[in-house]
Structure 1
Amino acid sequence: MTALNLDALDLSALLCSRVCHDVISPVGAIVNGLEVLEDDSDESMREFALDLIRKSAKTASARLQFARIAFGAAGSAGSSIDLADAEKVSRGMFADEKTQLTWSAPQALFPKNKVKLLLNLVMIATGAIPRGGLLDVVVAGTAEEATMTIKAKGSYARIPPHVEELIAGRSETGTVDAHGILAFYAGLVARAAGMRVSLSIEGDTVTVHAEPGAAPAAATEEGPGDTGLA
């Protein structure tokens, strides 16, 4: 394994690419719906187009709100984020028939990097159940000594390839693409937050767990939370 180091420009570019990947589909659907409204006078088709636009706009908004906290500055100069906001954007992100989300966390302000870590681990856990299923998020303890456990249960559950190595900041090739940037970024945030992340699988359930333990990365003075993707 090779230690993976990205400069600020490459990290920003890959995170931007990931965000664009997540929103391009619903935005494209909005464009298609508008084209139908412009070109088709059939009332049923116009209603279909309006419904498509409504649903796609809601999806795009939910994904952007999630990314704003998970990758950006969350529109705040403060050092803390309310866990209730993290729950709200997570429910918006996974409000569909494919994945059910349960959430148990204290009503409290948590350090920004710990909330970012939580959201990124939720995304990683979602990738462990490609056909959907149940996502159970539990945050316990105080803001200073928090533990986070996300259990992803579903058909064909598996730990996504290379995720553990990328979280640890390592790569077989010494590179990372837009698909793997979430895991690498989660590792950066975990080290900045003083958290240790582990993954395990038992049957159809993948467990992602984070607990205090890892020392903050000495090389990151401002921390990965200040990427500029607000």
Structure 2
Amino acid sequence: MTLPTTATVDLDALDLSALLCSRVCHDVISPVGAIVNGLEVLEDEDSAEMRDFALDLIRKSARQASARLQFARIAFGAAGSAGASIDLADAENVARGMFGDDKTQLTWSAPRALFPKNKVKLLLNLVVIAVTAIPRGGVIDVAVTGEGEAPVFVLTAKGSHARIPAHVEALIAGAPESGTVDAHAIQPFYAGLVARAAEMAVRFSIQGDTVTIRAEPAGPAAAAETDA
């Protein structure tokens, strides 16, 4: 299924920025809260065992908060001046920091090159969606081919109970069924905005326990090549 390239819902700048801020805060508040809890334990406990536990919690949560902020800076933020390029190696590093854990294994195949900012932002936002496609964890393979101005992204998410996330196709198309976008839905909606800005078309497919997300240059030539 190829998603439409014209949105039917248009958020104003204030609503878009507010919803994105809400999304970032949601991602960061959990590890920051854990850091606060760990500090409270250090203040109240004399037990060496509990203090070691608190320090370990603080270390892990600080790393997690840092990883989430670094990811958000590229995926949702400016990450450089207008028209800037981003190294795909940096995108890989923040993606691994954000999602690489015992539950989800991330493999990455991409050239070590500078790509246009919006295309890298789209790639990272598609990684977020790929993670939600395998709620019980599994393997996500990210493959980038082609040159920076006309790349092809193919992400495959394989795991138990894999599914195309509900409403994600309509949200990326900018045409949510409800006609509105809330903080829960802002990420795929934003991915659609970035895809259109980058002149990329996004398609989803599923076969068995594998969901495939493919993004490629939009336009008549790309469509003809896909049909062929």
Compute the TM-score of the two structures, normalised by the length of structure 2: 0.91
Alignment check: 8 A CA contact 2:83 2:116 kept: no
Selected match of 1:179 from 181, 184, 187: 184
Alignment check: 8 A CA contact 1:191 1:214 kept: no
Residue in 2 that maps onto 1:62: 67
Deviations 1:95-115 (A, max 9, x none): 310100000000110000000
Selected match of 1:19 from 21, 24, 28: 24
C-alpha distance in 2 between matches for 1:115 and 1:191 = 13
| 1:81 partner letter | I
Residue in 1 that maps onto 2:119: 114
Alignment of 1:64-213 (within 5 A): 64-76=69-81, 79-213=84-218
| 1:211 partner letter | E
Count the aligned residue pairs.
214
C-alpha distance in 1 between matches for 2:184 and 2:154 = 23
Shift of 1:76: 4.4
SS in 2 for 1:145: coil
SS in 1 for 2:58: helix
Selected match of 1:9 from 6, 9, 14: 14
User: Would you say 1:48 and 2:53 are equivalent positions?
Assistant: yes
C-alpha distance in 1 between matches for 2:59 and 2:219 = 44
C-alpha distance in 1 between matches for 2:158 and 2:55 = 35
C-alpha distance in 2 between matches for 1:76 and 1:46 = 44
Q: Which runs of 5+ in 1 are unaligned?
A: 216-230
SS in 1 for 2:214: strand
C-alpha distance in 2 between matches for 1:66 and 1:141 = 24
Alignment check: 8 A CA contact 1:190 1:214 kept: no
SS in 2 for 1:12: helix
User: Would you say 1:33 and 2:38 are equivalent positions?
Assistant: yes
C-alpha distance in 1 between matches for 2:80 and 2:114 = 15
C-alpha distance in 1 between matches for 2:202 and 2:75 = 17
Residue in 1 that maps onto 2:3: none
* Structure 1 runs, 4 residues or longer, greater than 6 Å off: none
C-alpha distance in 2 between matches for 1:12 and 1:58 = 26
Shift of 1:171: 1.3
SS in 2 for 1:3: coil
Deviations 1:55-75 (A, max 9, x none): 000000000000000010114
C-alpha distance in 2 between matches for 1:17 and 1:125 = 21
RMSD of aligned residue pairs (Cα, Å) = 1.3
C-alpha distance in 1 between matches for 2:166 and 2:33 = 29
Compute the TM-score of the two structures, normalised by the length of structure 1: 0.90
Shift of 1:176: 1.0
